[in-house]
A = this chain, B = another copy of it.
């Protein structure tokens, strides 16, 4: 009986427990907006392997890029410039959009897509600033089609299982969290939108990377941030326009649980999340760079779980499409994303003011 339990647990570890639509439903046809490496190298192959999704349009600032990506992918019917997209060219070729432009350009594409009645999958952070993110949420609110902020950790099995363990009391009461996400973008040279405050928003590291431990802690703990503290610094010349080449920040979640976090865009590749409770701990490491492994300690016993790695982008797209097909609201709706935007604004504010800043709905 006990051995059956373990076998069943491992066998069902990576199940898509969110799926409601039959496997032959769909496809949901996507226009991918912004054709950087993330869209082309990560999103497009994931969509190709997915159950419910198909790429039928690609949209770029460069017409040459749009055309060449369209030519290289059989399913793509339209290669559009940003202007053509806004003008509604070939809008009957797609049902949904994936917005993966620099942060400060999310809003315009969300507004156009909602006016076309398309479903929205918008990358995180939602926009460059809280104010612009609120405009994103307003646009989605007025629309009929579902909208989701692209938190791929929500459909990562290691994270979902961690959430179940916390919920079931496996580690007692959660006490504290350590989380980090770091990488180096210095090898890519100075001309990157993540280093341009007009395009990235508040900063380079917390907005882009720190949001992973912030949001994944929220999801696993099922609690929202209430206050933050932070400190950040930029010394490398590439980072002169943004305050956070490296940052350390503490997020206080509801119920007095503290998450001690770091993030850096000029560091060894690094990612982990550890949730420590009164009776055990959960470690997800690696956590955020497209691979996630779960380890659980209860008392003096530790279990390391190695399962085949799902493609996080494929799961995310299929989850979103499943919501579209079944007519239900995605978990990470724009209001969910706004909580992170308030938290990000508070973190940058706290660093500048050198004090604890509360995260409240009135921010």
Listed in ascending order, the chain A residues whose CB lies under 8 Å from chain B are 171-172, 175-176, 178, 180, 182, 184, 227, 229-231, 233, 235, 246-250, 252, 256, 258-262, 264, 266-268, 270, 276-281, 297, 299, 354-356
Contacts and interface: CB of A to CB of B under 8 A. Distances in A.
Contact of A231 (B175, B178, B252): B252
12 contacts: A175-B246, A175-B268, A176-B180, A178-B180, A233-B256, A233-B258, A246-B258, A247-B258, A267-B276, A268-B278, A268-B281, A268-B299
Nearest to A251: B248
A269 to B, nearest CB: 8
B277 A268 contact: yes
B260 A248 contact: yes
A231 B250 contact: yes
Contacts of A180: 176, 178, 260, 276
B172 A176 contact: no
B178 A182 contact: no
Nearest to A227: B231
Contacts of A252: 231, 248
A259 B171 CA distance: 25
Contacts of A355: 354-356
Contacts of A246: 175-176, 256, 258
A299 B267 CA distance: 11
A270 B266 contact: no
Contact of A176 (B227, B267, B278): B267
A250 B260 contact: yes
A260 B251 CA distance: 11
Nearest to A248: B258
B256 A229 contact: no
Contacts of A229: 229-231, 250, 356
Given A178-B262, A180-B260, A184-B278, 14 more contacts: A175-B267, A176-B182, A176-B248, A229-B229, A229-B250, A248-B252, A249-B260, A260-B260, A266-B278, A267-B278, A268-B278, A268-B280, A270-B276, A354-B355
A170 to B, nearest CB: 11
Nearest to A281: B268
